C-alpha cells in the first residue's frame, strides 16, 4: 500500500511540476522599448508585462493574467476600473522594494508624494534588458536597475532574473534579485513596509465591511460606507495552516490566496526560498489586497519579538529569491508543498 501511494504521489508531482510535454505552452518574450515594457505572451495571450513607466517609481510586473484570462492584479492606478480601491497608489502589480534603505522610503514612493517631501523617498530606475529567451514551457527575462537616492546617487545595482514556466492551467514566475552595494554601506533597517509584494484585484480580496473609497468606470472616487462583497471571495492559507486575516505577522514558507473570478477557481501563491535572509518570511498580508512577503522586516510583524537589521558593504551582494504560482484551480497543500520543495532545490 505504501508503494502504491508513493507511485501515485510521484506521478502527480511529475505531471504537475514538470508540465508534461503535451501540456507545455509556448512563452514568447517581446521587448517593446518605445512603450517601456516587455510583454510575456503565453500561447498567444498576455500573461504579464515587465513595465517601467515614468509615473511608477520602480519596475513592476503588471498586469498579471490568469490562465482563463482574468486579471489578478489591481487595475488602479494604471487604468480606471469600476469597483477598484483607490488606496496606496504605490501598490502596483508585483514588485520588490523596501521601506527603509539608508533612511529612504522606497516602498511608499509614488506620484502622490508632493515635491516638498520627495527628499525622503528613493526610486528604482530600469537600466537595461540584459537577456531574453522564449521557449516551449519556459522563458527567461534578465534586467538591470539602479536604486537611487533623491540626489541621484546610485545606492544599489539590481540584477533580476525572471524565469517563467507555463502549463495548461498553471503559470510560474521564479524571481531572483541580486542587490549589489555601490556606496560605502547600505542599511536595510527593520521596517514593516516590504519586501516582495502583489496588490491583487478586488475579487481576490477577503470580504470586508469596512468603509473605503472606490472608483467608478469614469475614474471618479466615491466613499462607500458598506462594501458589496458579492464577487469578493478571497481567503489566505499559510503553510502553517493559518487562514484569513490571521496570517498577518506570522511566518511560513508559503502563502496561498485563493478565490473565484467569473467561475474560474484561482490560486495565487508566494513561496519563500530557504536561502533568503530571515527564512521563513514574515507575511505582510492584508484583507484589502496587499499580499507581501517581508523578508527583512520583523520587528513590527512580530510585535517586537524579532528584529533584523540587514546591511551591505560596498561591493557586497545580497540575493533574494521568490516563486509566484498562478493556477486555475485551488491547489491542495500537498501540491503546494511539492512546488515549494522543488523550488528549494534551485
- Are 272 and 322 in contact, with CB atoms under 8 Å apart? yes
Q: At what angle do helices 2-18 and 333-344 cross, to 10 degrees?
A: 70
pTM, whole model, 2 decimals?
0.93
pLDDT (average), residues 152-180: 97
Task: Label residue 5 by pLDDT band (50, 70, 90).
Answer: very low
Measured in whole angstroms, how far is the alpha carbon of residue 264 from the centre of its chain?
Answer: 21
Only one residue has cell 502583489, namely 198
Q: Examine the pLDDT at 14 and tell me if it is beyond 80.
A: no
Distance CA 239, CA 252 (A): 6
Q: Examine the pLDDT at 298 and tell me if it is beyond 50.
A: yes
Q: Which three cell numbers stand for residue 116?
A: 516638498
What pLDDT score does 210 carry? 85
Q: Which three cell numbers stand for residue 7?
A: 507511485
Cβ atoms within 10 Å, residue 47:
24
What pLDDT score does 327 carry? 97
Residue pLDDT, tens place only, 79-97: 989 888 999 999 999 999 9
Please give the residue that has the higher pLDDT: either 17 or 38. 38
Q: Examine the pLDDT at 6 and tell me if it is beyond 80.
A: no
Distance CA 31, CA 37 (A): 7
Task: Label residue 7 by pLDDT band (50, 70, 90).
Answer: very low
Hey, what domains does the chain have and what are their CATH numbers?
Answer: 26-344 (2.70.98)
Task: Label residue 19 by pLDDT band (50, 70, 90).
Answer: low
Residue pLDDT, tens place only, 206-230: 999 888 888 776 678 888 888 889 9
Measured in whole angstroms, how far is the alpha carbon of residue 13 from the centre of its chain?
Answer: 24
What pLDDT score does 23 carry? 74
Q: Examine the pLDDT at 2 and tell me if it is beyond 50.
A: no
Q: Examine the pLDDT at 25 and tell me if it is beyond 70.
A: yes
Long-range contacts for 37-41 (Cβ within 8 Å, ≥24 apart)? 38/129, 38/132, 38/141, 38/143, 40/139, 40/141, 40/164
What pLDDT score does 22 carry? 52
What pLDDT score does 225 carry? 86
Q: Examine the pLDDT at 263 and tell me if it is beyond 50.
A: yes
The per-residue pLDDT of the chain, averaged, comes to 93
- Are 67 and 326 in contact, with CB atoms under 8 Å apart? yes
What pLDDT score does 4 carry? 36
Nearest residue to 177 via CA among 275, 42, 33, 40: 275
Whole-angstrom CA distances from 146 to 123, 181, 197, 213 are: 8, 10, 19, 34
Distance CA 277, CA 270 (A): 16
Q: For 110, which DSSP code?
A: S
CA atoms within 13 A on the CB side of 289: 25
**What is residue 175's three-state secondary structure?**
strand
Q: What residues contact residue 57 under an 8 Å CB cut-off, 6+ apart? A: 90, 106, 109, 110, 121, 123, 124
User: What are the phi and psi torsion angles at 244 (to 5°)?
Assistant: 60, -155
Task: Label residue 328 by pLDDT band (50, 70, 90).
Answer: very high
Q: Whole-angstrom distance between the N-terminal and C-terminal Cα of the chain?
A: 32
Residue pLDDT, tens place only, 35-87: 999 999 999 999 999 999 999 999 999 999 999 999 999 999 999 898 889 99
Distance CA 200, CA 62 (A): 11
What pLDDT score does 71 carry? 97
Amino acid at each position: 500500500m505504501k508503494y502504491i501511494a508513493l507511485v501515485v504521489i510521484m506521478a502527480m508531482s511529475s505531471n504537475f511540476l514538470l508540465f508534461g510535454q503535451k501540456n507545455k505552452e509556448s512563452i514568447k518574450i517581446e521587448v517593446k522599448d518605445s512603450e517601456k515594457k516587455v510583454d510575456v505572451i503565453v500561447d498567444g495571450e498576455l500573461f504579464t508585462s515587465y513595465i517601467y513607466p515614468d509615473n511608477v517609481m520602480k519596475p513592476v510586473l503588471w498586469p498579471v493574467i490568469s490562465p482563463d484570462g482574468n486579471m489578478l492584479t489591481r487595475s488602479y492606478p494604471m487604468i480606471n476600473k469600476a469597483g477598484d480601491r483607490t488606496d496606496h497608489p504605490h501598490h502596483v502589480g508585483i514588485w520588490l522594494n523596501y521601506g527603509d534603505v539608508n533612511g529612504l522610503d522606497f516602498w511608499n514612493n509614488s506620484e502622490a508624494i508632493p515635491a516638498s517631501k520627495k527628499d525622503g523617498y528613493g526610486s528604482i530606475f530600469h537600466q537595461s534588458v540584459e537577456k531574453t529567451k522564449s521557449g516551449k514551457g519556459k522563458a527567461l527575462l534578465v534586467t538591470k536597475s539602479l536604486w537611487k537616492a533623491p540626489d541621484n546617487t546610485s545606492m544599489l545595482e539590481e540584477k533580476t532574473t525572471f524565469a517563467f514556466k507555463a502549463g495548461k492551467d498553471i503559470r510560474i514566475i521564479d524571481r531572483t534579485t541580486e542587490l549589489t552595494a555601490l556606496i560605502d554601506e547600505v542599511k536595510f533597517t527593520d521596517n514593516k513596509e516590504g519586501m516582495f509584494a502583489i496588490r491583487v484585484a478586488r475579487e481576490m480580496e477577503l470580504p470586508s465591511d469596512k468603509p473605503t473609497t472606490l472608483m467608478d468606470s469614469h475614474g471618479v472616487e466615491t466613499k462607500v460606507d458598506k462594501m458589496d462583497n458579492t464577487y469578493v471571495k478571497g481567503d489566505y492559507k499559510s503553510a502553517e495552516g493559518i487562514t484569513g486575516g490571521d496570517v498577518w505577522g506570522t511566518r511560513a514558507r508559503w502563502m496561498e490566496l485563493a478565490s473565484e473570478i467569473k467561475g474560474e477557481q484561482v490560486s495565487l501563491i508566494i513561496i519563500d526560498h530557504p536561502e533568503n535572509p530571515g527564512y521563513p518570511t514574515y507575511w505582510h498580508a492584508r484583507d484589502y489586497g496587499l499580499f507581501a512577503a517581508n523578508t527583512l522586516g520583523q520587528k513590527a510583524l512580530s510585535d517586537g519579538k524579532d528584529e533584523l537589521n540587514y546591511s551591505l558593504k560596498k561591493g557586497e551582494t545580497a540575493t533574494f529569491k521568490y516563486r509566484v504560482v498562478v493556477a486555475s484551480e485551488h491547489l491542495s497543500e500537498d501540491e503546494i508543498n511539492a512546488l515549494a520543495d522543488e523550488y528549494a532545490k534551485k
